[in-house]
Amino acid sequence: MLTYPSLNPTIVKLGPLEMRWYGVMYVLGFLSSYFLVRYQIRKKGLHIDIHFVNDLFFFLIISLIIGARLGYVIFYNLPFYLSHPLKLLAIWEGGMSFHGGVIGVIFSGSMYAKRHGVNFWELADLIVVTAPIGLGLGRLGNFINAELYGRVTNLPWGMVFPSAGDFPRHPSQLYEFFLEGVLLFAILWWIKDLPLKKGTPFCLFLFLYSIFRFFVEFFREPDPQLGFVFSFLTMGQILCLLMAIGGLALLYFRPNNQETT
């Protein structure tokens, strides 16, 4: 059994205000994506204005937060929020859904691209190959917060997490950090310059993330308010199955007039 490191989730606290590692991870993820998108635009010689990118990221960040919050409310805890509607705005108490965030980003990104006459698939490819950085950093934030931990295990790398009982558990946050962050980024960054049809990296992101997350969910403790939703499957796994199918469908049914990148 490994010892869970003594980590303070708070970096600095000034009265009621505090800076937490989890929030810093989000900021680093957004900044990494922003600068890597600009790097790709310059390298590929794309005619995309920097002001467009600045405004796009602003709308994507807002859409991600709104989508992730609404996704959590609808997919994971709807009865509670129907009884306590004011809690919907209390995002500082936690409760964000990756799948809801994806829906929000895709919707706003497609509308913004259409409004400005930019190819959605090309834009999605530029952004999505950078997304695993934020996902990986977010899982590190979960680990520091000692949240979203795994199921009980007797494997030698199990850890006893604070407020999770006395039994060692899978450090599932680190599994996700490696698969959804490091490995997924390596794959997408490698294929981004291959002569692929526009939208291929975007569709592969949807599919590969879903496969990695579906696998890790077997080691992750189900959400306490839901438990197992269908037999041995969690809500996260059901949403991943739907997203994987959606990714494959988009990969097959994309418009045929997309040039290779």
- Indicate whether 60 pLDDT > 80: yes
Q: What is the pLDDT of residues 22-54, one digit of tens each?
A: 889 989 999 999 999 999 999 989 888 889 999
* 3-state SS class at 223: coil
- Indicate whether 91 pLDDT > 80: no
pLDDT band at 8, cuts 50/70/90?
A: confident
Mean pLDDT (whole number) for 45-70: 92
Give the global pTM: 0.92
pLDDT band at 256, cuts 50/70/90?
A: low
Q: What is the pLDDT of residues 161-208, one digit of tens each?
A: 998 889 999 999 999 999 999 999 999 999 999 999 999 999 999 999
Gap between the Cα atoms of 220 and 189, Å rounded: 27
Residues in a beta bridge with 230:
233
- Indicate whether 15 pLDDT > 90: no
Q: What is the pLDDT of residues 126-167, one digit of tens each?
A: 999 999 999 999 999 999 999 999 999 999 999 999 988 899
Six token digits for residue 152: 């009980």
Note the pLDDT of residue 259.
60
- Indicate whether 224 pLDDT > 90: no
- Indicate whether 231 pLDDT > 60: yes
Q: How far is CA 174 from CA 76, 138, 193, 230, in A?
A: 22, 10, 29, 26
Mean pLDDT (whole number) for 51-80: 92
Six token digits for residue 235: 């809500």
**Per-residue DSSP letter, 18:** E
Six token digits for residue 23: 């929030």
pLDDT band at 9, cuts 50/70/90?
A: confident
- Indicate whether 257 pLDDT > 70: no
Note the pLDDT of residue 261.
54
- Pick the closest to residue 111 from 56, 151, 48 (CA basis): 56
User: Which phi and psi angles does 159 have, rounded to 5°?
Assistant: -130, 145
